[in-house]
Structure 1
């Protein structure tokens, strides 16, 4: 854990600097061919906050905002946090000038993707296990709904070229046989099934993953514009995570494949 980053979950660039976070709750930068840890397990404040899973980040002026999907627990698997529907997730703020790290929002349900809203004063945050996107006002520290009851579990969110937002989806809900929707009605049963012993059996159930991954585009108000799916399972993956729009193409990453997928001719 002391050398290179482990699984990198979020990456951003600002001028000539690349910032990233990994699954062990660490923040790094890469500049002029030099790698530097900004936060690692030796950072005293980080030890006190006990992060569980840094998931994504966004750079806003001299601050880096990081989604910490859940607080640390030595025996919990990340998928248990998703299925158990608990709200220990947080947004952390790291000050690039003085190295200060603090909690700016808590009580979130597995926060995943994070993006600067077009007003430049608030953040959009994907609450994965709640199937929604919320808006966090940086100054007032208030949280309000942006999109609710999405077509699937929301992953990363990125700006589109025309002022909207692209959102990666997994566990899509285009059929009436979604196991996740069924378990949502029975919280006690959901907690029982997501203990460490039963989790592998739960993951064998086909409808956990829905009808495959999807890309979801909304406008600046959260209204649906496009929904790109993979009905024939050509990508052979269960989730779309990172999304970048370049010209008329969308470049898409997933943690379940070594490939980058490209959607062509968006117009």
Structure 2
């Protein structure tokens, strides 16, 4: 490479000499030709001398020059490649938005600015003090009940189990195998809300098939309400939670008439409000519609006086109050709005109020959920390109439960800002000395002593 410049010099002189020869022949002057030849020799001599002087420096200079040119070429090639890749990605993403069918039809909605985490919502690490019990032995203990000598809960594999200090016992199974994966839920069964009845038996909601009375002595599960029959011409796709009044009336939620439980992330992305609240008379099988147009109605709780029910509307971060008795009977109002997250189940607290678990949080200064609420095109894009498991990456890891008083005011909150111990709480069971935390996907039950709760 170092001789390239010398070759260039020699070639240039060769061209000059050739021109001179042609000129001399055209003139036909021998003497002038001799003179020009002498001149050529002088020039060649000078060139050779300069070449010898430059040859000592030429290798490094030429090599540096060539390297600079190669680097510039490489950079241009890389930049050109990046531009082409970016163009291809833009085209692919554009085609995806235009051609790939969307599994959702998102609706635009708005929420108030998320509440500031201060006062009773001030962050703490109390949930990080929780103990994980029966870890690895239970998957997705959504709802918890205590009685008849143990804990009762429904799991992701379709089983309803009883937990005592020494063992876990299967009480009933609502579906049929194979079980163990989300893809099998609709046939395996997915028990969600569970409640004890005054007759001593357990009532359980299966998200796909309906409501069951489980006889604890025999393990038999008797269907008392089926989702096979539409109500008012609309299917029940996602039965979620229930509560039972003293006169045996059953109140329950159906989260959507479009999406099943195994499609709950798509329901959250769509944000549609097709959920309903029903009353079931177990003696006549009559089903009465109480509320409609809710965006994923979830947990439900009858008041201590049984004059109203509370319903968590997950996708709008609020809780409704529906009057069962009194001058407002048959009407509803907002019990609490603008919650710090997406509420799941609601249950009594030992202090006379209510515990609410959260599937995800909304907090300042930025909430992705709130940001996407009024931008349905973003949700369409996500739903087209990513599966439901990937969508969970957008959910911040943060554990949160709050305690409400009887008027719907937040009086206490428990946090795990890291989400490493407790996250995605579905329900809180308050037994007076400890709190127990359910979850729709965690492989354990959380347990926290009152000492840590009220310290």
The reply on whether 1:53 has 2:238 as its aligned counterpart is: yes
* In 1, Cα distance between equivalents of 2:350 and 2:276: 28
> Contact conserved, 1:18 with 1:30, CA < 8 A, in 2?
yes
Match of 2:363 in 1: 174
Match of 1:234 in 2: 420
What SS does the aligned partner of 2:256 have?
A: coil
User: Alpha carbons of 1:75 and 1:105: their partners in 2 closer, same or farther (altered >3 Å)?
Assistant: closer
Alignment of 1:201-240 (within 5 A): 203=391, 205=393, 208-235=394-421, 238-240=423-425
Higher strand share: 1
Please report the TM-score for the alignment, with normalisation by the length of structure 1: 0.88
Match of 1:18 in 2: 202
Cα distance, 1:46 vs structure 2: 5.9
Per-residue CA deviations over 1:170-208 (Å, capped at 9, x if unaligned) read 22123423210111232x325523535445486154xx3
1:150 to 339, 352, 366: 339
Number of residue pairs aligned between Structure 1 and Structure 2: 262
> Contact conserved, 1:121 with 1:138, CA < 8 A, in 2?
yes
What SS does the aligned partner of 1:79 have?
A: helix
Note the residue ranges of structure 2 that are not aligned, 5 or more in a row.
1-173, 178-187
> Contact conserved, 1:214 with 1:227, CA < 8 A, in 2?
yes
The structure with more radius of gyration: 2
Cα distance, 1:87 vs structure 2: 0.7
What SS does the aligned partner of 1:38 have?
A: strand
User: Alpha carbons of 1:143 and 1:211: their partners in 2 closer, same or farther (altered >3 Å)?
Assistant: same
User: Alpha carbons of 1:2 and 1:257: their partners in 2 closer, same or farther (altered >3 Å)?
Assistant: closer
What SS does the aligned partner of 2:377 have?
A: helix
2:444 to 247, 259, 264: 259
> Contact conserved, 2:372 with 2:379, CA < 8 A, in 1?
no
Q: CA RMSD in A?
A: 2.5
The reply on whether 1:247 has 2:432 as its aligned counterpart is: yes
> Contact conserved, 2:356 with 2:402, CA < 8 A, in 1?
yes
User: Alpha carbons of 1:88 and 1:133: their partners in 2 closer, same or farther (altered >3 Å)?
Assistant: same
Cα distance, 1:101 vs structure 2: 2.0
Match of 1:8 in 2: 191
User: Alpha carbons of 1:75 and 1:244: their partners in 2 closer, same or farther (altered >3 Å)?
Assistant: closer
Higher helix share: 2
Cα distance, 1:29 vs structure 2: 0.6
**Bigger CA drift: 91-100 or 149-158?**
91-100
* In 1, Cα distance between equivalents of 2:269 and 2:229: 31
Note the residue ranges of structure 1 that are not aligned, 5 or more in a row.
none
What SS does the aligned partner of 2:268 have?
A: helix
* In 2, Cα distance between equivalents of 1:199 and 1:193: 11
Cα distance, 1:118 vs structure 2: 3.4
Alignment of 1:85-104 (within 5 A): 85-104=271-290
Per-residue CA deviations over 1:220-254 (Å, capped at 9, x if unaligned) read 0111111101123332x541002110112100110
What SS does the aligned partner of 1:171 have?
A: strand
Please report the TM-score for the alignment, with normalisation by the length of structure 2: 0.53
> Contact conserved, 2:229 with 2:235, CA < 8 A, in 1?
no
> Contact conserved, 2:294 with 2:313, CA < 8 A, in 1?
yes
